[in-house]
């Protein structure tokens, strides 16, 4: 372990480094109480040592190849006296490792079986369908010929090609016509997540699925002993085009109460079906003709600013409550059943090319209701077509008395930001 400093009692192990959560975790974790576990390649590429240097709550960093099978048991035997208070998965790829490590240390967690099901989209389809949950028709595919056969079997209706083992919409594309299959396959094989994953290759596992048309939602559910403690439904908007990347989130979703209850009930059924025990699930659904179809489900905190918008809209200390569940502690307060206001995220876009200049960020920050406005690209940096979540150019978060008004404010503030591209008039 590197960067060690004296700690306050038993440490919390956070598997996977997420820099944007440092301030939020620091609001409730005491000094010297958190040890990060991260892949050596990611530590190097993201300069994690530099990011945690001087952060009061960080006790240290353990570099460990947690993506690999069996590494949790190896970690447990290599650190028998660590005696953590909790094991927290902070990123998608950390969930099986964290679940198994929690089991070995006798701590609350998702359970290895549940984490493995949620990480494998093909397996999740089979398990959830057996439990009576509606799923799109889905088949494993090994090449363009398999995709073409599936497309033709769907009577020419659109299909979705996607990895079974990735995150953030990486390698996902909607295909409308047989002529698109070859290029779509090549596009979907580009699954490079850059600094966020280790350099070693990840196994290729692809699915072709029925395209389900309808509004998209996610359900965020805090779970203890398999029972729901807190439920939120988030409304989604997607970028136009063949890549289903999220453009906006609204919290809570502006939908009828009976639909919100139905989505919550389906997520509870999913939790039961996979045997998830303790933590947070982030389930994504498409509602078609009144039926929620499962898209996928993650056994960790949602990304894309959803945690912040939930905490603002209700309000609720969701992150702190999540840590309390995984520590086996009492919750920091009563969890609300309904939001008192609304919050929204709108992502910032840019045309493909090299950035010449960025304008309007400060104006966006000063706009009505804006909680956050940030751009992730700067002059000289390349911007590509938005094919997955890492390609988005920035984010705006806003609050209001309702989720609809919060979204309007976020969209207005995002519209104040202009990203000039070299050679563009």
**CA 171 → CA 168, 174, 206, 377, 389, distances in Å?**
9, 10, 9, 22, 11
Homologous superfamily (CATH) for 216-421: ATP-grasp fold, B domain (3.30.470.20)
Segments making up each domain of the chain, as ranges? 12-107, 137-210, 216-421
Closest CA relative to residue 300, chosen from 3, 11, 16, 2:
16
**What is the chain's Cα-based Rg?**
21
DSSP 143-195: SHHHHHHHHHHTTT--EEEEESS--TTTT-EEE-SGGGHHHHHHHHT----GG
Q: What CATH fold (topology level) applies to the domain 137-210?
A: Dna Ligase; domain 1 (3.30.1490)
- Of 208, 135, 217, 146, nearest to 171 by C-alpha is 208
Which residues fall within 8 angstroms of residue 99, CB to CB, at 6 or more apart?
89, 109, 110, 111, 112, 114, 115, 299
User: The whole model's pTM is what?
Assistant: 0.93
Bridge partners of residue 14, in order along the sequence: 36, 88
Residues sharing a CB contact under 8 Å with residue 256, sequence separation 6 or more, in sequence order: none
Structure tokens at 158: 């659109």
121 token code pair: 């989209």
Number of Cβ within 10 Å of residue 169's Cβ equals 21
The C-alpha atoms of residue 134 and residue 128 are separated, in whole angstroms, by 8
Bridge-based pairing of strands 58-63 and 34-38 is parallel
The matching CATH number, chosen from 3.40.50, 2.60.120, 1.10.20, 3.30.70, for 12-107 is: 3.40.50
Would you state the structure tokens that stand for residue 195, as one six-digit string? Answer: 């600094």
In order along its 425 residues, the chain shows pLDDT tens digits of 654 455 558 999 999 999 999 999 999 999 999 999 999 999 999 999 999 999 999 999 999 999 999 999 999 999 989 999 999 999 999 999 999 999 999 999 999 999 999 999 999 999 999 999 999 999 999 999 999 999 999 877 999 998 877 655 566 889 999 998 888 888 777 656 667 777 777 777 889 999 999 999 999 999 999 999 999 999 999 988 788 889 999 999 999 999 999 999 999 999 999 999 999 999 999 999 999 999 999 999 999 999 999 999 999 999 999 999 999 999 999 999 999 999 999 999 888 889 999 999 999 999 999 999 999 888 998 887 776 666 788 999 999 999 999 999 999 999 999 999 987 65
Phi, psi for residue 249 in degrees, rounded to 5? -130, 140
Q: Determine phi and psi for 175, rounding to 5 degrees.
A: -115, 125
């Amino acid at each position: 372990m590197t960067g060690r400093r004296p700690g306050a009692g038993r440490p919390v192990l956070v598997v996977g480094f997420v820099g944007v959560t440092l301030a939020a975790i620091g609001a409730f974790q005491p000094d010297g109480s958190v040890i990060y576990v991260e892949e050596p390649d990611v530590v190097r590429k993201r300069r994690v040592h530099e990011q945690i240097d001087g952060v009061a709550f960080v006790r240290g960093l353990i570099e460990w190849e947690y993506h690999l099978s069996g590494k949790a048991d190896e970690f447990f035997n290599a650190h028998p006296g660590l005696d953590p208070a909790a094991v927290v998965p902070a990123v998608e790829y950390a969930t099986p490792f964290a679940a198994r490590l929690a089991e070995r240390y006798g701590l609350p967690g998702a359970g290895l079986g549940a984490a493995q099901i949620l990480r494998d989209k093909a397996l999740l389809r089979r398990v959830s369908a057996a439990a009576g949950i509606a799923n799109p028709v889905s088949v494993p595919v090994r090449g363009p010929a398999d995709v073409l056969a599936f497309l033709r079997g769907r009577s020419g209706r659109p299909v979705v090609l996607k990895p079974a083992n990735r995150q953030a919409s990486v390698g996902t594309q909607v295909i409308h016509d047989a002529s698109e299959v070859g290029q779509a396959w090549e596009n979907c094989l580009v699954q490079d997540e850059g600094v966020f994953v280790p350099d070693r290759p990840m196994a290729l596992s692809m699915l072709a699925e029925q395209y389900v048309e309808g509004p998209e939602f996610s359900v965020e559910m805090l779970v203890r002993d398999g029972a729901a403690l807190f439920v939120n439904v988030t409304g989604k908007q997607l970028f136009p085009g063949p890549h289903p990347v999220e453009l906006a989130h609204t919290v809570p979703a502006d939908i009828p109460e009976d639909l919100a209850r139905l989505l919550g009930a389906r997520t509870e059924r999913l939790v039961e079906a996979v045997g998830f025990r303790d933590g947070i699930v982030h389930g994504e659904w498409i509602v078609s003709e009144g039926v929620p179809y499962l898209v996928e489900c993650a056994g960790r905190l949602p990304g894309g600013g959803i945690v912040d918008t939930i905490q603002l809209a209700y309000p609720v200390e969701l992150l702190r409550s999540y840590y309390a569940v995984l520590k086996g502690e009492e919750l920091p307060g009563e969890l609300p059943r309904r939001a008192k206001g609304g919050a929204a995220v709108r992502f910032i876009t840019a045309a493909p090319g090299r950035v010449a200049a960025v304008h309007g960020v400060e104006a966006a920050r000063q706009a009505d209701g804006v909680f956050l406005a940030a751009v992730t690209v700067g002059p000289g940096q390349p911007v590509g077509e938005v094919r997955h979540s890492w390609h988005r150019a920035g984010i705006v978060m806003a609050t209001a008395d309702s989720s609809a008004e919060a979204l309007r404010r976020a969209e207005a503030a995002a519209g104040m930001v202009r990203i000039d591209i070299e050679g563009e008039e």
